[in-house]
A = this chain, B = another copy of it.
Amino acid sequence: MARTYRETVTTPAAAARGVGSRGRPFVSLLSDFGLRDPSAGIMRAVVAGICPNAVIVDLAHDLDKFAIRDGALLLWSAVPYLTVGTHVAVIDPGVGTERKGIAIQVARGDVLVGPDNGLLMPAAARLGGITRAHLLENPRYSLPEVSSSFHGRDIFAPAAAHVADGVSIEDLGRAVDPRRLMALEWPRPAILPGRLRSQAIYVDTFGNVKLSALVEDLAAALPELHVGETLHVGVGNGAGGPVVTATWSRTFGEVALGAPLLTADSYGRVSLAVHQGSAAAAYGIGPDTALEISRASGPTRPPIPGR
């Protein structure tokens, strides 16, 4: 009767619409609309108005404005934990211009809805890749009056709600070749003998710094890395930046209060953190700051040609 989460959410059987939520369609929402204005609430209301039976989950709406890459990362992080359903994401500086609105179906069975600006692509890849994509063109599935600056309300939320309510994405508009959609990838880390060159791609609300590198990248660069090992993290390009001495840890509480640690975050990404503090503030790290990780026991960081 009671099932585990994976049985509920991600088995092939669950991929059939509705199974994961016992007949109630699942819709998630993500945006940079902030929480002081009612824009996010209005999107939710539009979904509920069209598909009142939907289970609607607000993932986050207070992302940095226009930060498409942040949104892509957070959606990528969230989707494995979401019921198979329809996921709307709106970080859309190009709203009202030539950029298209799209609905993407992925191998797991979900439909992703939003602007064609790369925002949806990492999540689509994580859910097994795109099986088909359609433009949002059919006026039947948008609001009757479409503004030029709030497609979240007028196009994306209605399209998603209609899909949740049973409309096929084929009915939303013409098919588009997935290879022609705008791509988005974060910078790939460089796996070198004994060191990993990567960069910060996101700072969370705790001040933890998330790197472009995944844990397997670090393991490839530093074979036989073990918990408790001391690592060096060179901050910034060139010789000027600080070198942080951090412990490779499973979790925050393994180091002293205020001490730095490197860890796998809860999505498998390398993260530089401070126990009950902010690594970003402590070391002056923001998005795109270069970070190079090496063993404390290894040779000192050699001069790197071309830096």
Contacts and interface: CB of A to CB of B under 8 A. Distances in A.
A154 B93 contact: no
A186 interface: no
A140 interface: yes
Contacts of A64: 36
Interface residues of A, number: 85
A266 B5 CA distance: 39
Interface in A101-150: 140-141, 143-144, 147-150
B158 A204 contact: no
Nearest to A206: B65
Interface in A1-30: 1-6, 8-9, 20-22, 24, 26, 28, 30
- Residue of A33, A44, A45 most packed against chain B (CB within 10 A): A45
B149 A78 contact: no
A97 B140 CA distance: 49
A173 B74 CA distance: 33
Nearest to A152: B266
Nearest to A18: B52
A188 to B, nearest CB: 24
A46 interface: yes
Nearest to A96: B251
Contacts of A276: 65-66, 93
A52 to B, nearest CB: 4
B66 A57 contact: no
Interface stretch (A160-168, A175-183, A299-307): A160-168
A38 interface: yes
A265 to B, nearest CB: 6
A57 to B, nearest CB: 5
A45 B251 contact: no
Interface in A52-66: 52-53, 55, 57-66
B166 A266 contact: no
Contacts of A44: 57-58
Interface of A: 1-6, 8-9, 20-22, 24, 26, 28, 30, 33-38, 40-42, 44-46, 48-50, 52-53, 55, 57-66, 74-75, 77-78, 81-83, 93-97, 99, 140-141, 143-144, 147-150, 153-154, 158, 162, 165-167, 204-206, 250-254, 263-266, 275-276
